[in-house]
Every structure is written in C-alpha cells, then in structure tokens.
C-alpha cells in the first residue's frame, strides 16, 4: 500500500507563524549568535597561531621555559 497525503488537508492546515516583531527579534538573536561564532573563531585561530609561534621558539631554543613569566592564578592545579 502506498501512503498518500490528502491535498485538501494540507491546504486547510493552520500553521502558526510569529508576528513581524517576533520574527525581527528572532533574526536579531541569530545575528548576535553568528557574530559571537565569528569572534570565537577568530580568537581560536589567533591562539592557534600564537601556539605555533611559541612552540617554534621553544623548540629552537630562542626562548627557554625557565625564562617564561606565567600567571597560574586563574588555573586550578
């Protein structure tokens, strides 16, 4: 048996749609989320680049671990 969909039922179905103000508010929230994603993606890329540079400097001996000043106050050890 093949399932069918009654066209009249589909045309009569009531579909809830948010008001224009609600749609604009939803769009505003999505734009804010997109901007946050963009900011965090840029930050991640920048930190990855910094990691690569620092790792290279440590491996080549340009800087020494004992000479680094690291603030551990925000890290749970």
pLDDT band at 1 (very low <50, low <70, confident <90, very high): low
- Please give the C-alpha separations between residue 77 and each of 8, 31, 74, in angstroms, as whole numbers: 66, 38, 9
pLDDT at 77 (0 to 100):
61
In this structure, what token pair is assigned to residue 2? 């093949």
In this structure, what token pair is assigned to residue 69? 């000043």
26-47 pLDDT, tens digit each: 999 999 999 999 999 999 999 9
Give ∠ CA 40-57-77 in degrees, rounded to 5.
60
47-67 pLDDT, tens digit each: 999 999 999 999 999 988 877
Neighbours of 54 (CB within 10 A): 13
């Amino acid at each position: 048996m093949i399932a069918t969909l009654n066209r009249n039922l589909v045309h009569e179905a009531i579909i809830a749609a948010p008001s224009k103000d609600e749609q604009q508010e939803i769009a505003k929230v999505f734009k804010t989320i997109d901007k946050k994603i963009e900011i965090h993606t840029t930050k991640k890329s920048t930190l990855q680049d910094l990691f690569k540079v620092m790792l290279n400097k440590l491996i080549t001996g340009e800087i020494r671990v004992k000479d680094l000043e690291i603030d551990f106050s925000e890290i749970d050890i």
